[in-house]
């Protein structure tokens, strides 16, 4: 089974944070993911270098997103693919 790459996880979470942080549908997720989302944004934009611990936070945040949308990781390239999979 293919898994989403770390870079794509960062890009997806970064896009979600920037474009949906004021969306009521994601309010609880955004609030709960107050560390993983900014970390993903920083990595996606080359503002920070990932470490093992920070990669774990991003990974947990990504899988929390997938679980909240009831989607299985199939190797996503972008946020739109996740939304399509969620129906």
pLDDT tens digits, 43-72: 999 999 999 999 999 999 999 999 999 999
Question: Taking the model in full, what pTM does it have?
Answer: 0.94
pLDDT at 1 over 90: no
Please name the residue ranges forming H helices in the chain.
6-20, 27-32, 36-44, 52-68, 79-86
pLDDT tens digits, 26-35: 999 999 999 9
């Amino acid at each position: 089974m293919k898994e989403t790459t770390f870079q794509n996880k960062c890009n997806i979470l970064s896009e979600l944070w920037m474009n949906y942080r004021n969306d009521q549908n994601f309010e609880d997720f955004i609030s709960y993911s107050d560390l993983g989302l900014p970390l993903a944004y920083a990595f996606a934009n080359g503002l920070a270098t990932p470490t093992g611990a920070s990669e774990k936070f991003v990974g947990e945040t990504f899988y929390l997103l997938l679980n909240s949308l009831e989607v299985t990781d199939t190797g996503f390239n972008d946020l739109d693919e996740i939304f399509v999979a969620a129906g």
